[in-house]
Amino acid sequence: MKSLFLLALRNIFRNRRRTLLTFFSMIAGVAAIIVFGGFVEYTFWGLRESTIKTQLGHIQIYAKGYTEKGVAQPNNYLLQHSDEIVRELHDKKGVQAVTRRLSTSGLISTGEKTISCKVIGVEPEKETELSSFETIIDGMQLDSSNASKGGVIGAELMKALGAKVGDTVTILTTTGDGMLNAVEFQIIGVGQTGSQDYDSVFVKLPLKRVQELLGTTAVEKVVVLLSETDNLNQFVPILNSEISKNSWNVEFKTWSELAFFYHKVVQVYKGIFRVVNIIIGIVILLGVTNTMSMAIFERVREIGTLRALGTTQSGILKLFLMEGLLMGIIGASLGVIVGIAIATTINLSGGIPIPPPPGMSRGYLAFIVTPLPLLAFSFGFMVLVTLLSSIYPAYRASRFKIVDALGHV
Amino acid sequence: MIIFNKVTKDYLLGKTIVPALKGVSFEILGGEFVSICGPSGSGKSTILNMMGALDNPTGGDVILLGTNLARLSDSEQATLRNQKIGFIFQSFNLIPVLNVFENIEYPLILQGISAPARKLKVMELTEQVGLTRFYTHRPDELSGGQRQRVAIARALVTQPQLVLADEPTANLDSKTGTDILDLMKEMNTRFKTTFVFSTHDPQVMGYANRVIRIHDGQLVDAEDVV
């Protein structure tokens, strides 16, 4: 085995220029997979975190039946004793913030223009934490100091209204009893979440004012924000045990169950990533097969000699497969190093500016992440492709007729 | 040692069948130093190939050490070649990426012999062919004569019962050729190894104690030189 390894290793480097060229294509392939894969991973991460930290939180807890019937009869499925839930959950391990929300739809008006909107009642003192991915492009974010003054509205909605920070607007909606009610407030900030659809409807007001508007003391949901998204799987059992321990009549959903847009984007990107991998795989497959075939063609007589000395057909097969495997391992390792180097260079130079994706109101700076699974995948993929490429040439070499091979010039 | 019994061999050239051997029969005994000679294309190499289990006859039997070679599987033939036969080629056929030591060692690796035992045998053979100084050299750093010495050492390192040499001196100048033949003869005497070599050079034939002449795929005669 050791001698097979040595022989294969030396054979790889006997035609240096050709081997280097093959390595270049393998390195380019692996690096491309890593950089593109790292970009995709970053995009997934960015979209996931921005979805969580602008709208959804990690977990939303509702009154039982809300997710099924709450859309039609929101007032019948409100959480009455949300204080207790907040109190019990806020100091649990991995929890960053627990906050309550109450939303309703209504009409927002400047006096001249009236547009439909989604009013969200939030707890101002926790808003900075929960909406850390929301950008305030004008004015300020809702917090405990300014809660009495007014609310924040979405950038697109602001544009449509033709209003500016400091303007007073009126919101008209119906209470739980079906009565019309209105509230007047001052626009203190303009927010951008990245999602164009959301930015063109949302109005954030302090929870108290929305409760007054709807004539209730209940809330629609309790939103839990964890310090790390990865902690979610550990938190769900804790939540379940709290629910049964306290006999809360509630149900909950995780961000993933609510993030339809995120899942669609992930699907599309994963599809693209797969296609890119297949193309790279085919290019490498053809390149390595070509290199190996050329190497074998040049070594026909040598193969005949090895056979004459007593090497079996399977011995020849193993030799060339070993060459393929070694080439794969060396090429893929170099590729991983180069991939990480390119990713680091891009990250250090400040990322790649990406224009707003479809449905998004702003572009973003993309960085390249290089998580271990991605590196392992690109390495394994390249080794496998190279090994596959060497099967046919190796098989051909093992089947040469010895006499013909020895007589080959 | 070797029995050829009415051996025929046909090659297919395009759509024409070309007979290379037309029923050749002879016997070679253990310890002989035999030359097979004839003009090029007469079938010398074909005979050597069949003796060495590199090729199978179209008809007739080739019996080596009591075994009918055609009845062996490909891997059995490979094992037989590795253990019982040594090969010396006209153009040396050393493995370019291996140095002198490793080239000589290769057949022993196939036999699964331990590294220390291999080293002992290789060093002994390297010394006997006079290449101790060169054992770390690659083939392309050696002269033709030195390369053929490596090939002889490689052929003999497994202590085979039969060494086959196809025109072993054809690519060497006459002085080096004579040296190589002397070396082969010496090995023949020392180890009692059977040597069969092909040539069309009358001077080389002179070294053999028996000459098998072949012409147009048929035996002309067999004669004892000594």
Amino acid identity, position A103:
S
Q: Which residues of chain A does B154 touch, with a Cβ-Cβ cutoff of 8 Å?
A: 309
The string over B53-86, giving b where at least 16 C-beta atoms fall within 10 Å of a residue's C-beta and e elsewhere, is bbbebeebebebeeeebbebeeeebbbbbbebbb
User: What is the least distance, in Å, from the CA of A23 to any CA of chain B?
Assistant: 20
Which residue in chain A has the smallest CA separation from B50?
A403
Q: Which residues of chain B does A301 touch, with a Cβ-Cβ cutoff of 8 Å?
A: 93
The pLDDT of residue B226: 44
Name the DSSP class of B172: S
Answer yes or no: is pLDDT of B17 > 80: yes
Among residues 24-63 of chain B, which lie with CB inside 8 Å of chain A? Answer: 49, 52, 54-55
Q: Report the C-alpha gap between A83 and A92 in whole angstroms.
A: 15
CB A362 within 8 Å of CB A191: no
Say which of A306, A311, A403 has its CB closest to residue B49: A403
Q: Which residues of chain A does B107 touch, with a Cβ-Cβ cutoff of 8 Å?
A: 309-310
The pLDDT of residue B151: 92
B12, containing H or E segment:
strand B2-13
Percent of residues, chain A, with pLDDT higher than 90: 48
At B208, is the secondary structure helix, strand, or coil? coil
Answer yes or no: is pLDDT of B223 > 60: no
| Confidence category of residue B162, pLDDT binned at 50, 70, 90 | very high
Task: For tokens 């098989």, name the residue.
Answer: A395
For range B201-214, the mean pLDDT: 88
CB B181 within 8 Å of CB B169: yes
Q: Which residues of chain B does A401 touch, with a Cβ-Cβ cutoff of 8 Å?
A: 55
Q: Which residues of chain A does B112 touch, with a Cβ-Cβ cutoff of 8 Å?
A: none
Q: Do B97 and A308 touch (CB under 8 A)?
A: no
At B200, is the secondary structure helix, strand, or coil? coil
| Confidence category of residue B137, pLDDT binned at 50, 70, 90 | very high
| Confidence category of residue B150, pLDDT binned at 50, 70, 90 | very high
At B158, is the secondary structure helix, strand, or coil? coil
User: What is the least distance, in Å, from the CA of A364 to any CA of chain B?
Assistant: 54
* Tokens of residue B3, six digits: 């029995």
Q: Do A308 and B110 touch (CB under 8 A)?
A: no
Task: For tokens 């080293």, name the residue.
Answer: B119
User: What is the least distance, in Å, from the CA of A399 to any CA of chain B?
Assistant: 11
State the complex-level ipTM. Answer: 0.91
Closest CA to B113 of A302, B104, A306: B104
Q: Do A308 and B54 touch (CB under 8 A)?
A: yes
**What are B46-67's pLDDT values in tens digits?**
999 999 999 999 999 999 999 9
User: What is the least distance, in Å, from the CA of B123 to any CA of chain A?
Assistant: 18
Q: Which residues contact A285 (CB under 8 A, 6 or more apart)?
A: A385, A388, A389
For range B113-119, the mean pLDDT: 93
Percent of residues, chain A, with pLDDT higher than 70: 99
Strand partners, A203: A119, A153
Chains A & B: contacts with CB separation below 8 Å = 64
Q: Which residues of chain A does B96 touch, with a Cβ-Cβ cutoff of 8 Å?
A: 14, 302
Answer yes or no: is pLDDT of A155 > 80: yes
Answer yes or no: is pLDDT of A120 > 80: yes
Q: Report the C-alpha gap between A150 and A165 in whole angstroms.
A: 10
Say which of A3, A305, A312 has its CB closest to residue B75: A312
Say which of A11, A309, A315 has its CB closest to residue B107: A309
The pLDDT of residue A409: 65
User: What is the least distance, in Å, from the CA of B84 to any CA of chain A?
Assistant: 10
What integer best gives the mean pLDDT of chain A?
Answer: 89
pTM: 0.78
Amino acid identity, position A275:
V
Percent of residues, chain B, with pLDDT higher than 70: 97
* Tokens of residue A116, six digits: 């439909």
Q: Which residues of chain B does A295 touch, with a Cβ-Cβ cutoff of 8 Å?
A: none
**What are B174-201's pLDDT values in tens digits?**
888 888 888 888 889 988 899 999 988 8
What integer best gives the mean pLDDT of chain B?
Answer: 89
User: What is the least distance, in Å, from the CA of A16 to any CA of chain B?
Assistant: 13
Q: Report the C-alpha gap between B215 and B24 in whole angstroms.
A: 11
